[in-house]
Structures are given as C-alpha cells and as structure tokens.
Structure 1
C-alpha cells in the first residue's frame, strides 16, 4: 500500500491519491468522466438517502424527466442559454452504420436529427415546458418536485468528484402562486442543505446570497452554502435559486388565481451533487487517509482478530461475533475481518485509509484479560475496554466522533476567517494564510472582476448574518454598507 503524499507537501496530489487509494473513484476511459467505485458509491448512497428523506419531510416528491433537451428549449431564456452554452454536449445523429471501408462503425450521415438534442446540463427548460401542461389554476400549485439524475457539463480540466464532465446530483424544481412562497421555498431548501452539511457531514457552512455576477444563469437570486477546506480554499456545497417568473414567462406557464386575471407562476430550483463527496474528503481527512463522520460511514466499526493458528482464531472470532451482533442491534454497520490472507497490520492501515470510525482489535492476551483494544480514527486514541462493555463503548463513541469532527472543522474555520480593511493586508492574508476574508466591497461588478483577476479570489457570498456597517471598499476605497466573504475557491 503506497503512502499518501502529505497534505503540507502537495494538497492536490494528496487529494487525488486518496480518492483512488481509498477505492472511492477512478478516472474512466471517457475523458473527463469518472467511475464511482462501490465504497465511494456507498457513501454517496448514504448522503442521497438522508437528503431524500429531508426533501420528503418538507413535502417534496421525486419524479424523472428526460436526459435530452431540444435545442430550441435552451434558446427560450436568454440568460440561461448564455450561462450554459459553452458547457453543452449536443446529439446530432441517432444511428451508426458499418463503415463501407471495413473500419468498424461510423455515424450514418442520413440519420441526422431534425433538431439537435442537448444532454441535460440542468433541467429547468424541459421541466418548465412540462409544467405548462400541469398548471392551469391556483389549485395545481404549489408543485414541489425533485429528481435524482446525472447531468453533463463539458469539462476537460477535471478532478474526481470536484469537477467532472458528468456527475450525479439532485435538482429540485418548484412552482408557486406567489413571489413570497417561492422566496420562502428558496430559503427553506438552503436551510435543509445547511442542516445536512453540519449535522450529517460534520461540515460547518456559511449561508448567504451570491452577487449578481455569481448568480445561476436565469435566476433573480442565488442562495448558497460555502464551506472551508483544509487548504484554506472555499467550496460551494449547495445552491438554491429564486427564479422569479423568468422561466414561466419563457415557457408561457400561467395560472388562474382565486381572484384576478391570469398570472405567471413563480419558480425555484435547488441542487447538490457528488461534489459533496469532495467536500467530505477535504474537510476531515488526514495524511493517513479518509476520516468519515459516523453518520455517513458505510462501515461504523471493524473487528480485527490477531491470532496464531485456527484454534485461536475460532476463539477470538466467537468473541468478535458477539460484539458485532450487539453493535448491529444498536443500529451500527460492522465488519468482522478474519481474512487470513492479510496480516493484521495491513488491515489496520487499510481501514485507516478508508476512514472506518472505530477499529476493534483482539489478540490472545486480550482474550485472556477479557478486553479488546478500541481505536478511534478521528484522534488515533487507543484504549483497552472490558469485553462486556465494548459494544456500548463503541456505540457511544459514534456521537463523540461526530461531534469532535464538526467542532474541529468549526475551530479551523474560525482560525482561518480574517477581517481585513486594506488592500495590502487582503493580498497578504490571501497568499500566506488563506481561508475566508471578511472585507468591504463597493457593490460593483467592475471591482469584483478586478479583485478576481488580480488575486483569483471571488466573493463567495454576502452572508445572511452580515450586519450593516459603514466602511470603505478594500480595493477602491469607495463607501460600503457591509462586509462580504472573499476566498479562493474550487
């Protein structure tokens, strides 16, 4: 097993090695796309199942819409098509044929589509074209729909989970009778994402609103959660968009209110993706491998017997199976690894690499003493625990580890959030400390662009909890009413 590059030596290389060595994903033969391996997909499934339950608790239902979108649909909302035009994969033909020269197969030139189809980069257009047939009166509203799907945004500079041409995600698309309802939905779903990030992923986030330059294409407002990774870069972990009536007008979706004349429907959309996998890795993991919060770990604990000969193995296995049975009754997923083709030291390193929260080991001396050794993945601490108390101890550790991880991440963010009031300090902090910078901005896209071009730092969001405060823009010195959050980002 190859040793991982240290984060302090090359954070990017550490990340890439970890994703592959921990069996989460690999690059595919299709350039820009990835294969998510079973262990990685098991983590994503846990994320998906929790989020799906949260969506349903807030009244949403799942549906599915086509992968292909007629090109003409993309032209109906000008800002939307401009935002995605450079990322779209286009289907032009529907049939192959044998090459007359005997060189495999070629595209049949006679099978050109009458209208090209776009492989969905996001589904607003196809969904709002469908909603036109679902909505006639206020009685048909609200529509609260989510879909779990894959999308394609043509991207060649890829990094597993963080940026690939095809990725998995969910996208909610809702329709409302009033502006107020749609804004409330937008904000509610951002709170759902923040709840999931902090209470399941153990990843603290800042909730806020994007600047006009950073908004989703076609939205009136984009709300976001921003997380801070261990290398001091920000990562946008989820977005919720208030779309106003833009898509309803583009696709002529009107309804009859209780009183008054026909009006256009109000819309939202919101989504998170397999990018959350990258966020999870980079928030908690260390130079030994993955560190997983117990709430999302595919395996909560592993029992590793240390033995010589079949007789010892049988005795230790019996004790281990009893502990595992008790842990399963407590709702935990456990594995007893009695594979005799691998040494215990190899197994310890393997489960450390894969981020299993707790390791239980038992050797001949432990059996004599009626104890087991319990090791925490998050801190590396080991302790001997009486056999009859092992299951209860491990179960209790799950909450301790979950809390420790989120507290550690909060402490890192607090240490790497800096208030800055002048340009030289801004550049110094960005270059030498990293993290979030709270600074005044004059509110213009021109200043925002100049800061981005000079430093690669972007305004991550205008935080919900930012307060009005008279100040001067960190770049221009012009008047400013509040601080915004800057950072370099993924």
Structure 2
C-alpha cells in the first residue's frame, strides 16, 4: 500500500494501468491480450450487469444463450459484416491434440482437421440470425426481443485492461421486428437506456449521436452511440445501438407472414455494452490517490473502521458499529465493518481510499463516549465529526450527494472541453493543447473524414442527435456544410 501511483499529469496511461492492478480490479493473464477480472472488479461489473439486465427486462427483453463457435460460412453471408471483422477473428481448425512422437510435448493432431473452420465469436449476429430463421414464421412471432450475456473474442494487437482486450465480457441484444419504424424505435430505446445508465449509475455524462458511415458497425444501416469524455481529454465510445435494416434478414432468409398474408423480411437491431465501461468508470472519476467510485456502483458504499488499543475497546466499539451496520443494510446500503486486527487503521484508510469506497467511517473510544463518529468522503476528501444520532439517514443522504457531485464534476469538465472551431488550424491547436470534443463543420465525405484522421489522429466521434441545422464551411475543404460534428482523439 505504501507505493504511490504514478500521477495522471506525469503519465496518464501508466496511472490507469497501475490503478486497475493496484486497486484489485484486473490483471494480465498468461494469454497475451487477455485479462483476469479479480473479485473486486467483477463485483462492480456484476452491479452494472444487474442494473442493465433489469432495464432490459422491464422493456420486454428476454435472455438467451447462443454458441461460442460460428461456422466460417455464416460470416460470408453478409459482405460488410465479414469485411468488418475478418482481421479480428480467432479461427478453430482442429479438434484434437496428441503427444509428439519425440516426447517434446503436446501437438495438434493433423488427422483431426475440421471439415469447416469455426470462428470464435467476435459478435453473434450470424449465428443468431441463422437461429431466428427457425423461430420466426408469422407476424405473431414478432417482435422478438433477445439479449445475451456472453464473452467475445476480437484479436486485438494493442491491448489495455478493460479498454481493449482480445477477450471481453458484454451483453449483446438482437431483435427482430415487423416494420422499419419499430426497429428504429428499438435502437433509439436502447440508446436511451444506455445513456440513462451511464449518467445515473456511472455518473458519467454522455453525448448521444449517430456514427458516420465509415464508423458504423459492420452491416448496420445506422449506428447510434453514447460518447463519454475521459480526464485526459480523450473520448471513449461507451455503448452502441445499431439499426440493421433488413441486411441480416436477407442474408439468412428470415421472413415472416404479415397480417395481409404476404411474405416479408423482418427488420433488425443489435446493441451492446462491454467491460469497456469499467475502464470508462475508472478514467471518468479517479484521482492520483486511487479509484473514486459512484455510490450506485460501489461494491462497498460504506466502510467502518474501529480505532482501538485494547481488546476491550474493540469489543465495546464493535457493539455500536454492528448496530449501525444492521440499520444501514436495512436501508439498502452496502456496508463493511473492517475489524481485522492484522492491519493498523492507517493502512486500512489507504486501502479503502485506493479502492474508491465512497464513505469511510472511523470510531474510537472517545467517539463512543461522545456519541460521535468521523466521516471521510472519497469524492472531496473532506473529513467531519458527526453525531451518531440519525447517522444512518445522514449516510444515505451523503451517498446521494456524492453520486450527484461526481456527475456534476464530470459534466463541468465536459462543458469546458467542448470547443467550437472554424478553421483547420484551430482544430489542430485545440486537439494538441486542450483536448476534448471539438465541434466543427464537415463536408460529409469519407475522404475528408479520413484525411482529417490522418493529419490529426482525431476521428468524428458522432453527429450529435438533435443537432441544429447550421450553415457553414467544412473545416478542411471549405465546402458547404449544414451541421457540426464532434471530433476527438479517442480510445
């Protein structure tokens, strides 16, 4: 606990990597590019998962599970889809191992070659739409609203814990609808669920928008996204929702009989968020002392630490603390009473500071006598001595205050890092010095988008939803433009 983190100002990337490991969220595994999510990190992911799962089910979605392996031929059926994922696919070619004759170890049995290679799923559209062909016959079978919690593999060359790993956890929704309008509404509904979750649980303000054609999901007609802004001024795509049109229905021949008795292709969506949200959570709020977690997602919202010299003092303090623990848990607060005697209070303070526990309480013999308790907030690092009377209500109120404070702080940062520019020189200047989102006109061509990316390493993060019509000139070419888009360097 004694070694301090590299500061954000010194090396933001190193700070992030150290924090994820030291706070016990995750670590690299024996497989290059893959990670082990440790219990504390997984506890945060479970809270994310539980809340999102609840929101999906409240809107009529059901969970199912589909195979990890996808026949190679399935990916060939939707041209844009296979082109988009071809370079990231892990391929299974054999199904058996054997001992080498020279005793050097285990080798792949050349006699056990698969007739058709299998792809370890990078995403499940193809295997799911092959299944939906069997499930959908009539308009009565629609809408079909399915979600899957799973792992996927995308063979990334440059990896970073949570943000970009070869294997990661996610949820992927796949829905089928009778009309285009229903499918578009579904994609927009999910985008709203993602934005609500990001802002009300992660305390991370996001911008809702549409991706440009070159940034769309492979095989999508439109990709909706939420974009967050990290403390180093880089953007992070936190979730996407795709209107797939009838592309996959036609590729897999998924038709239904309409009310009028006609055979029609269904309309589709797919959508997902992943453990990348964990990286977003860390980078949105944390500081040079460690994690800063919003109470709505903190595995431990309150930790209580006794200060004592003798066993008798600990016993007396424990009676009072246990009473508080019972009351807090009845109020829905996640609380831990750390009465370990193998570590000193100062060590525990540093541990829970590093782990981002929103509230830390400490009680000693004098507090017991005076009916007080010390309360330390992780978000502001403020300490105060509070009466034990009605302390439980005070804690509940303070947790709500911390949640709101973290959101407000992140929102203020984002407001100060959205900059409107008119010229390409201004665009480069802001990207290189201030960072954040840069609002600029774009002529709508993929060529200009690619050229700006080449010259600045920034991409169009999104075309914000509800963007007002504003006549202007493209920041690079000077051609006519009718609206602004948001550029940023991104993860």
In structure 1, the partner of 2:47 is: 46
Unaligned 5+ residue runs, structure 1?
none
For the residues of structure 2 that align with 1:177 and 1:14, how far apart are their CA atoms? Answer: 49
| Cα deviation, residue 256, structure 1 | 0.9
In structure 2, the partner of 1:282 is: 283
For the residues of structure 1 that align with 2:424 and 2:299, how far apart are their CA atoms? Answer: 46
Mapping of residues 248-259 of structure 1, within 5 Å = 248-259=249-260
In structure 1, the partner of 2:437 is: 436
For the residues of structure 2 that align with 1:171 and 1:229, how far apart are their CA atoms? Answer: 24
Task: Give yes or no for the alignment of 1:489 onto 2:490.
Answer: yes
In structure 2, the partner of 1:261 is: 262
| Cα deviation, residue 368, structure 1 | 2.1
| Cα deviation, residue 164, structure 1 | 0.2
For the residues of structure 1 that align with 2:428 and 2:93, how far apart are their CA atoms? Answer: 48
Secondary structure at 2:469 match in 1: coil
For the residues of structure 2 that align with 1:181 and 1:244, how far apart are their CA atoms? Answer: 11
| Cα deviation, residue 409, structure 1 | 0.6
- C-alpha distance after superposition, 1:37-58 (max 9, x if no partner): 0000000000000000000011
In structure 2, the partner of 1:307 is: 308
In structure 1, the partner of 2:117 is: 116
For the residues of structure 2 that align with 1:364 and 1:4, how far apart are their CA atoms? Answer: 33
In structure 2, the partner of 1:94 is: 95
For the residues of structure 1 that align with 2:329 and 2:366, how far apart are their CA atoms? Answer: 26
For the residues of structure 2 that align with 1:445 and 1:119, how far apart are their CA atoms? Answer: 31
TM score, norm. by length of structure 2: 0.99
Mapping of residues 236-251 of structure 1, within 5 Å = 236-251=237-252
Task: Give yes or no for the alignment of 1:472 onto 2:459.
Answer: no
For the residues of structure 2 that align with 1:401 and 1:126, how far apart are their CA atoms? Answer: 44
In structure 1, the partner of 2:204 is: 203
For the residues of structure 2 that align with 1:22 and 1:107, how far apart are their CA atoms? Answer: 39
In structure 2, the partner of 1:82 is: 83
In structure 2, the partner of 1:328 is: 329
In structure 1, the partner of 2:225 is: 224
| Cα deviation, residue 388, structure 1 | 2.1
Mapping of residues 46-195 of structure 1, within 5 Å = 46-195=47-196
RMSD of the TM alignment (CA)?
0.7
| Alignment: residue pair count | 490
| Cα deviation, residue 370, structure 1 | 1.4
TM score, norm. by length of structure 1: 0.99
| Cα deviation, residue 260, structure 1 | 5.0
In structure 2, the partner of 1:458 is: 459
Unaligned 5+ residue runs, structure 2?
none
In structure 2, the partner of 1:26 is: 27
Mapping of residues 334-373 of structure 1, within 5 Å = 334-373=335-374
Which 4+ stretches in 1 moved above 4 angstroms?
none
In structure 2, the partner of 1:7 is: 8
Deviates further, 99-108 or 277-286: 99-108
8 Å contact from structure 1 (residues 224, 236) kept in 2? yes
Secondary structure at 2:258 match in 1: coil
Secondary structure at 1:44 match in 2: helix
- C-alpha distance after superposition, 1:227-265 (max 9, x if no partner): 000000000000000000000010011111111521111
8 Å contact from structure 1 (residues 294, 398) kept in 2? yes
| Cα deviation, residue 392, structure 1 | 1.6
